[in-house]
Amino acid sequence: MSKHREQSLRNRSDILRKCYPLVAIGSWDAIAISDIEKVIKQTRGAIAYYFKNKKTLFANILDELFFPVFALSDDEREKLSKATVSDFYNRYKTPFERVRDDLRDNYGVENPSQAIFNLFIQGSKHYDQFTSNVGELMQLEQDFMSRIVGGRVNNILDLNRVYVENIGNIFIESMNFDSN
In the chain, % of residues over pLDDT 90: 60
Q: Looking at the predicted structure, is the pLDDT value of residue 145 above 90?
A: no
Count of domains for the chain: 1
Q: Is 36 within the bounds of a domain?
A: yes
DSSP string for 45-107: HHHHHH-SSHHHHHHHHIIIIIHHHHSPPHHHHHHHHHS-HHHHHHH---HHHHHHHHHHHHH
Cα–Cα distance, 77 to 92 (Å, whole number): 10
Residue 32 within any structural domain of the chain: yes
Looking at residues 53-57, what average pLDDT do you find?
Answer: 94
- What is the DSSP secondary structure assignment for residue 141, as one 8-state letter? H
Three-state SS at 150: coil
The DSSP letter of residue 7 is H
Task: Examine the pLDDT at 153 and tell me if it is beyond 60.
Answer: no
Share above pLDDT 70 across residues of the chain, in percent, rounded to a whole number: 83
Per-residue confidence band for 22, with pLDDT thresholds at 50, 70 and 90:
very high
Q: Is residue 69 part of a domain?
A: yes
Distance from C-alpha of 134 to C-alpha of 71, rounded to nearest angstrom: 9
User: For residue 142, what pLDDT band results from cuts at 50, 70 and 90?
Assistant: confident
pLDDT at res. 162? 63
Contact present, 77 and 123 (Cβ < 8 Å)? no
Classify residue 179: in a domain, yes or no.
no
Q: Is residue 55 part of a domain?
A: yes
- Collapsing DSSP states into helix, strand and coil, what is residue 156? helix
Q: What is the CATH number of the domain that holds 98?
A: 1.10.357.10
User: Is 67 within a domain?
Assistant: yes
Residue-level pLDDT at 159 = 56
Q: Note down the domain range covering 154.
A: 3-174
**Cα radius of gyration (the chain):** 18
108: three-class secondary structure by DSSP: coil
Question: For all residues of the chain together, what is the average pLDDT?
Answer: 86
